[in-house]
A and B are shown apart, each in its own frame.
Chain A
Amino acid sequence: MERHFDEELKNLKEKLLHMADTAQEMIGLSVKALTERDKKVTEQVFTLENKVNHAEIEIEEEVLRLLAIRQPAASDLRLLTAILKINNDLERVADQAVNIAEIAVDLLKEPQFKPLIDIPNMAKLVQNMVKGSIDAFVNHNPAMATGVCEHDDEIDLINDQIFRVLLTYMMENPKSITPAVDLILISRNLERIADHATNISEEVIFIEEGKNIKHHIQEEQQH
């Protein structure tokens, strides 16, 4: 039986997907500003931030409204509580993209001190993780979500590698410290975005299977 509630859930999911698309776009633009050395691109990131912030508030209010009037249970309840969390994660992703763009503004004031290879590469992988987690949500696919979680380690390794490379630069040439630290921060921002993609994936598994795997994967890694 189709419920009026199903229509409301469909609209809510669409709002969330739209927000996810915007957050994704912001990641791409913030790194593009850096690789193409174009300050105007950072302006686009800052404009999109407003859009994401408005969407976050709208989605949160709609979830609260639905919780109050529909008193959902089972999969509907899991979906709504997960949407609240995914909403939060996406807003944080957008924040991280803004942080990258702000650092890019500073970096663009000086000539590039080293070619950018690892960071754009890392950005691409991170964007794929965010896309993967959202696709898993749309397609009700917990296996896809688990796949995203498994990439998190790879991102952590790249982050470490970037740090080691830049550390070498800083030790050899103190003048490179400021821009190197900026790049380390960008790498850290990207690593955080990957963490949020992992969170979103964990929420998808919760929606589809009712399982909370939040600290389970960490435990498995310890064994």
Chain B
Amino acid sequence: MENPIISAEKINLYYGMFHALKNVDLSIARKKITAIIGPSGCGKSTLLRVFNRMNDLIEGARVTGRVMLDGRDIYGSEMDLLGLRKKVGMVFQRPNPFPLSIFENIAFGLRIHHMYKKNKSVLYGIAKESLQSVFLWDELQNKLNSLATNLSLEQQQRLCIARLLVVKPEVLLMDEPCSALDPMSTSRIEELMQELKKNYTIIIVTHNMQQAARVSEETGYMLLGELIEFGATQEIFTKPRDRRTEDYITGRVG
């Protein structure tokens, strides 16, 4: 793959004695959507958390290998974790807006990264831009001071994405972002992802194979901590090379 944005080499991750990721090699293409699929417990969320070092927060978690983000090893001793998590943002299965106003949710990231914290009108402009990029501005422009937790789940999820975008990430990690949403909302978030990929690289973990097939250009299949197969989504879903991938996506196992 030419000039991948993330390059993971020989990633092994242990939770204490449990070997959760086994020799994973993976390259993520820029400004494309990559899906990671696999049965429960295969390590796909663990792999996602490798890319923003969220596993560091889990006691007993240990990683070996290299993860290059734009040429820098994120597990190197000089990596600035806050800077990493600004560049590589994460969206979770259950939308998690702060119990603050919509505006304060958006401004929060800017404030803690000391970006424009004093200039309210600049903050407002940035909030508008980020809410527009998740297609929430029209609905919410007159309610910026209302509580974010009163929004619908879909709106909350969009807001969480907007919250990430204000600090100008390069990569968005999405861990089953639509699992808590109904089919119509899911469909709209998937449309949003197609818009977002024009500017951001997206990696999505999903247990919904049809979703992976719909949204992604590349797909990786994981099983028991191993990356079994990785390739163009079209190839994975029409002629997978590995029998285990075939069995999973045809519903014969898992």
What is the interface of chain A, defined by CB distance below 8 A to chain B?
A: 1, 3, 5, 71-78, 210
B238-A210 in contact (CB<8A)? yes
In the complex, which residues of chain B have a beta carbon less than 8 angstroms from the beta carbon of A76? Answer: 250
Once the chains are docked, how many angstroms separate the CA of A1 from the CA of B253?
A: 6
- Ranked nearest first, the 4 interchain pairs of A and B with the lowest CB-CB distance are A210-B239, A73-B249, A73-B237, A74-B246
With a cutoff of 8 Å between Cβ atoms, the chain A residues found around residue B109 in the complex are none
Chain A residues with CB below 8 A from B239, complex form: 74, 78, 210
Q: A70 — nearest CB in chain B belongs to which residue? A: B251
Q: Are B246 and A75 in contact (CB under 8 A)?
A: yes
Q: What B residues does A73 contact at CB under 8 A? A: 209, 213, 237-238, 249-250
Number of A-B contacts (CB under 8 A): 31
**B99-138, CB < 8 A from A:** none
Indicate the size class of the contact surface on chain B: 10 to 19
Using A5-B251, A72-B250, A74-B239 as known contacts, list a sample of 17 further A-B pairs with CB atoms less than 8 Å apart, ordered by residue number in A. Answer: A1-B251, A3-B252, A71-B210, A73-B209, A73-B213, A73-B249, A74-B237, A74-B238, A74-B240, A74-B245, A74-B246, A74-B250, A75-B250, A76-B250, A77-B237, A78-B238, A78-B239
Q: Which residues of B are found within 8 Å of A5, using beta-carbon distances?
A: 251
Please indicate the chain A residues that have their CB under 8 angstroms from the CB of B249 in the complex: 73-74
A25 to B111, CA, bound (A): 80
List B residues 202-254 near A (Cβ within 8 Å): 209-210, 213, 237-240, 245-246, 249-253
Minimum Cβ distance to chain A for residue B109 (Å): 38
A74 to B240, CA, bound (A): 7
Output the residue of A73, A75, A210 with the most chain B CB within 10 A.
A73
Cα–Cα, bound, A74→B246 (Å)? 6
Chain A residues within 8 Å of B245, by CB: 74
Complex alpha-carbon distance, A68 and B56, angstroms: 44
Q: Is the CB of B238 within 8 A of A77?
A: yes
Q: List 8 A-B contacts (CB under 8 A).
A: A73-B238, A73-B249, A73-B250, A74-B239, A74-B250, A75-B246, A210-B238, A210-B239
Residues of A within 8 A of B237 (CB): 73-74, 77
Contact of B251 among A3, A77, A78, A210 (CB under 8 A): A3
Contacts of A210 in B (CB 8 A): 238-239
Give the distance to chain A from B107, nearest Cβ to Cβ, in Å: 42
CB distance from B244 to the nearest CB of A (A): 12
- Residue among B209, B239, B245, B253 having the largest count of chain A Cβ atoms under 10 Å: B239
Interface centre among B238, B245, B246, B253 (most CB of A within 10 A): B238
Contacting residues, chain B, for A78 (C-beta < 8 A): 238-239
Q: How far is the CA of A72 from the CA of B249 in the complex (A)?
A: 8
Most buried by A among B237, B249, B251, B252: B251
Q: Which residues of A contact B209 (CB under 8 A)?
A: 73
Nearest to B213 among chain A residues (CB) is A73
Chain B residue numbers with a CB within 8 Å of A71 are 210
Identify the closest chain B residue to A211 (Cβ): B239
Residue in chain B with minimal CB distance to A78 = B238
Closest to B251 in A: A3
Chain A residue with Cβ nearest B240: A74
When chains A and B are docked, how far (Å) is the Cα of A1 from the Cα of B252? 5
Contacts of B210 in A (CB 8 A): 71
Q: A residues within 8 A CB of B252?
A: 1, 3
**A77 to B236 Cα, complex, angstroms:** 12
Distance in angstroms between the alpha carbons of A1 and B247 in the assembled complex:
9
How far does the Cβ of A200 sit from chain B's closest Cβ, in whole Å?
20
**Residue in B closest to A5 when the chains form the complex, CB atoms:** B251
Bound state CA distance, A145 and B249, in angstroms?
A: 27
Compute how far the CA of A73 lies from the CA of B248 in the bound complex, rounded to whole angstroms.
Answer: 10
Query: In the complex, what distance in Å separates the CA atom of A74 from the CA atom of B249?
Result: 7
Whole-angstrom distance between the alpha carbons of A53 and B37 in the complex?
42
Residues of A within 8 A of B240 (CB): 74
Q: Once the chains are docked, how many angstroms separate the CA of A72 from the CA of B251?
A: 9
Residue of B nearest to A76 (CB): B250
Kindly name the residue among B213, B240, B250 whose own CB sees the greatest number of chain A CB atoms within 10 A: B250
